[in-house]
Structure formats: structure tokens, C-alpha cells
Structure 1
């Protein structure tokens, strides 16, 4: 039996763990710093929307080795991530907004980073971007992960099979989001001399 008045039949949706009515706008950005497993499948499902034909996902997983600064390969059994917590989610949100500003047609953007111990093969970083077309989705996802690595204060301690551990020295400075985004753009489109 069809509903005579749409207001009589209110459908709600759960967005960002909150129940919303259809009249409320749905936020197109999700960010999180989490000690739990990164919700890969859930983020892809959330980012898949009718007006977007592309959903690009980057999942950074812990691998079983690393090359140290001298080029020696070391075996890894896990990584422990630490973060300057109060700065992570605001910066993730800034990165997502910067991507949306550069590519206005983007559908949804999700950025997650894990903290605490993460074993080999589990995800530590997730970037999900949806867009009407694959080109902007791929480029925006690349922008998000590259700027995240340069501007989000997260550090990692690697644990090897022999019981030793050490902080990973990347040589990268942690910059603010606008500076890291500007540097990313310059690297791809250098200004004429």
C-alpha cells in the first residue's frame, strides 16, 4: 500500500553512529584515529553512493620487513603506532576538506589511522575516496595519503623477530596541512622559473 503522505513515513539512517532523519544533511567526510581494526569494508560501503562511479581505496598494511637507513633489510613482526592524539583527527579532516576543495565533484572521503600495536598484514591506514570518475578519485586518494604522511603526527616503532625494536626514522618533517598540500601540488605542477 503506497504511503499517502511522505511525512507520515519517516525513514532514518545511521550516519557516524548517529540516527538522522532524511531532512538532515549527511556529512561526506569520515575520519578517525582508532586503536581497533580499521573498518575497510564498512568505509567502502559508506563511500559508495549513487552519483559516484568510482571508489578508490588505499589500505596501508604492516609488511614483514623494512629497509633501514643504511639499506639493510630487517624482519618485522609488528608495529606500534603512537600519535599526538588531539591533532590527528582535526588534521585528517583538514586533508579531506582540502581534497574536496581541489576536486569539488568528490562524493565521500574517509581517512582512518590506527594507533597501538598492529601485526603484520593488518591495516594501519585507510583512505577511501568516491567520485563520479576514476581519474579524480585516484588523484584525490593519492593526495590524501601523501599529505597525511607529511602532516599527521603519527610515529611508528617496529618490532623484529629477535625481540628488538626501534623507532622508524623517516627523515620527513611533520608540516601543517596547507603547507604539505601546497608542496604536493608543486611536486606535480612545478611553477615556471
Structure 2
């Protein structure tokens, strides 16, 4: 899957109904669903990334996320613009990412896309998370049960990781 971003001069195509956020506060599936809901949607695809208790066979205690927030929001906007370029019937795009310390089971990222049809919604949502992971200036520090820790760019994570 192609996850590159086409830069937007001045980001003139930001859609007024889209929502982009980086927050220390817990993320809400209900809030994101409400933001992406639209009477023109026939489908909403929502991806929730959560902190799991194990990575590559190693027990995880918790994660800590950091982001270069101004640039990350620009990347989120570019992702949404590219979604609208490729899936032209897209009604709404929501990208929210959490930073700070996250415990096992907490939500780290929510991406939701509302479209008239499910195939578009699924494809656009997958493009959104894959592109975010490869392009957004967001890093996580994994704290292991053995007391060690490691910083990782989320773009360097395996495809099925948060």
C-alpha cells in the first residue's frame, strides 16, 4: 500500500467538517464516531490503536508517546486531503492521537472516515493509519517489564503495531 503524502501548498483544501487532534487526555471512540457521523455516509470505518501488554514476545508495562505537534497536525491534514483526492465521496475524516503515558488497554490513536460506501471507508481508513505511522513525527517509548525501555519512531514499528 502506498503511504506517501502529496504536500499541500498552504493546506487550502482543509475540509471544515474534519477533526485533527493531539492530546494528553484520553481519546473517546464515541466522540470520534460522532464527529465523523454524517447523513450522507453509508459507512463509517473507525480504527482504534491500543496499548497491548506484549510486543515481539516482550512484556510491556506502559508506553509513552511524544509528538512534534505542529508538524503532526499538518501531516494529519495532508492525510485527510489525500484521502479526499483518492476517495472523492469522503464526507468526513477524523484523526486523533494521544501523547504522554499510556497504560495497557488505553487508546493511542483513533482514525475514522465516513463515506457513502464501505469499500471506500475501509480503504481510506487503512490509508490513514498506514500513512500516519510512516509520516507523522510521533515517537513512542516502550517500557518493558524487565525495567528497560526503548524509543521507537512509530513509522519504524511493524505494520500490526501501534
Question: Which category describes the TM-score, using the shorter chain as reference length?
Answer: 0.7 to 0.9
2:145 paired with 1:161: yes
Greater gyration radius: 1
Quote the Cα distance in structure 1 between the aligned partners of 2:109 and 2:150.
20
Quote the Cα distance in structure 2 between the aligned partners of 1:63 and 1:52.
31
Structure 1 segment 23-38 matched on structure 2, within 5 A? 27-38=16-27
Matching residue within 78, 82, 86 for 1:94 = 78
2:60 paired with 1:66: no
Quote the Cα distance in structure 2 between the aligned partners of 1:28 and 1:139.
20
Q: Could you say which residue in structure 1 is the equivalent of 2:12? A: none
Quote the Cα distance in structure 2 between the aligned partners of 1:120 and 1:74.
13
Q: Could you say which residue in structure 2 is the equivalent of 1:84? A: 68
| Aligned partners of 2:51 and 2:108 also within 8 Å | yes
Quote the Cα distance in structure 2 between the aligned partners of 1:132 and 1:64.
36
Structure 1 segment 31-180 matched on structure 2, within 5 A? 31-67=20-56, 73-168=57-152, 172=156
Quote the Cα distance in structure 2 between the aligned partners of 1:170 and 1:38.
18
| Aligned partners of 2:36 and 2:93 also within 8 Å | yes
Q: TM-score normalised to the size of structure 2?
A: 0.83
User: 4+ residue runs of structure 1 moved beyond 4 angstroms?
Assistant: none
**Which protein has greater RCO, CA pairs closer than 8 Å, 6+ apart?**
2
More strand by share: 2
| Aligned partners of 2:102 and 2:108 also within 8 Å | yes
Taking structure 1 as reference, are residues 135 and 84 closer, same or farther at Cα in structure 2, changes over 3 Å only?
Answer: same
Q: CA offsets per residue over residues 42-81 of structure 1, 9 Å max, x none?
A: 11012111111101100000000111xxxxx110021000
Q: TM-score normalised to the size of structure 1?
A: 0.70
Q: CA deviation at 1:29?
A: 1.0
CA RMSD, Structure 1 to Structure 2 (Å):
1.8
- Indicate the SS of the match to 1:168: strand
Q: CA offsets per residue over residues 105-157 of structure 1, 9 Å max, x none?
A: 01110001111101110110110000011000000001100110110011110
